[in-house]
Amino acid sequence: MQSKDSNLDGTVSVGSHTVSRKKTFDWRNYIVYFAFIGVIIYFSVTLHDQGFVSTDNLLNIIRQTAMISLMGLAMTFVISTGEIDLSVGSIAALSSLTAALALQAGYGMIGGVAVGLGTGLLVGLVNGLLLTKLGIPSFLVTLATLGTVGGLAMWITDTAPVPIVDATFNFVFGSGDIGPIPILLIWTIVATVIAHLLLRKTSFGRQTLATGGNESAARFSGVNTQRIKLLVFLGSGFMAGFAGLLYAGRMHAGRFTFGQGDELSVIAAVILGGTSLFGGVGTVIGTVIGSLMIGTINNGLIIMGLDVSQQMMIKGLIIILAVAFGRKAIKR
């Protein structure tokens, strides 16, 4: 009997022969793109006389979603391994404050950036070690650090904001524009390209997906799954810290309120974009589209006059629908 093996390039090897396998287009893999276009069309029609399609409003959506998109890129790797990180919003808040305090203390922009990113890396390291060394589920670990880090962000400044007067920092990390292009858009594009290449073109990306797809099989294949999980949590902490810098630069201050509730938006963007909540499947481009879609919906609802509570309910409904669709996709 001849052996039959599937290859990554869509071919099937039968004995010594390679046979091409026809790939069929499945529109369900691109549902988030169709949905995003539909949302744009809907709000463009219903809010055409209220400035929704104006250049200023569309750029404002990009600015508002940049931090969610960046944290979502790292969350894509975390969820692709079958884990979750609920602490990203608190990390962003604490990083904005530590960076602002470093700037206020006279360490300059480089010192402020280093302290802010270092804060995120430190919390990410703690999350990763508690998961990989002590075996505590990531949901419980990051739920605990969400509260701990959030409380620390309130305590270190007694809930007071820390102003940032460094004009260069504020320009580079949030409020600047290069011509008509917001610098937040540039950061998002650069990070998206790097994350996409990392997930699709490197052994680390393949091992990340393998870890989430079948951890036992990945381990037997020589993948150090514990190391992969530690690295993705380090990456999540780093990107949350970076998001904190962008919050601080955009608002010219560090605040403990930055990032509150962002973990919900980040997870929604990742799952809505096509990454499986159960691991093994991840898409960076889909995450960014999911983030933009959520930001567009929020923006449209604000223009329509809906309050924050109604936006939260709709966001929760989006997560339910996204997870339900993800489960259906897995069953296929």
Give residue-wise pLDDT tens across range 213-253: 988 999 999 999 999 999 999 999 999 999 999 999 999 99
% pLDDT > 70, the chain? 87
CA atoms within 13 A on the CB side of 17: 5
How far apart CA 76 and CA 186 sit, in angstroms, is 20
Residue 194 lies in a domain: yes
Q: How many domains does the chain have?
A: 1
- 53-70: average pLDDT: 92
How far apart CA 272 and CA 35 sit, in angstroms, is 10
CATH code assigned at 164:
1.10.3470
How far apart CA 266 and CA 245 sit, in angstroms, is 17
Residue 60 lies in a domain: yes
> Phi and psi for 163 in degrees, rounded to 5?
-65, 150
Residue 153 lies in a domain: yes
Q: Which two tokens stand for residue 239?
A: 């990107």
Give residue-wise pLDDT tens across range 116-143: 999 999 999 999 999 999 999 999 999 9
- Full-model pTM: 0.86
User: Bigger pLDDT: 55 or 101?
Assistant: 101
Helix axis angle, 262-272 relative to 308-331, nearest 10°?
A: 40
Question: Measured on CA atoms in the order 205, 209, 212, 216, is the torsion positive or negative?
Answer: negative
**What pLDDT, on a 0 to 100 scale, did the predictor assign at position 27?**
58
Residue 47 lies in a domain: no
**What pLDDT, on a 0 to 100 scale, did the predictor assign at position 28?**
60
Position 283, amino acid? T
Give the structural domain span for 148. 53-325
Per-residue burial over 296-316, b if 16 or more Cβ lie within 10 Å, else e, is: bbbbbbeeeeeeeeebeeebe
Residue 184 lies in a domain: yes
Evaluate whether 247 touches 85 at the Cβ level (below 8 Å): no
Residue 7 lies in a domain: no
Residue 79 lies in a domain: yes
What distance lies between CA 30 and its chain's CA centroid? 19
Residue 21 lies in a domain: no
**What pLDDT, on a 0 to 100 scale, did the predictor assign at position 53?**
85
Mean pLDDT (the chain) is 87
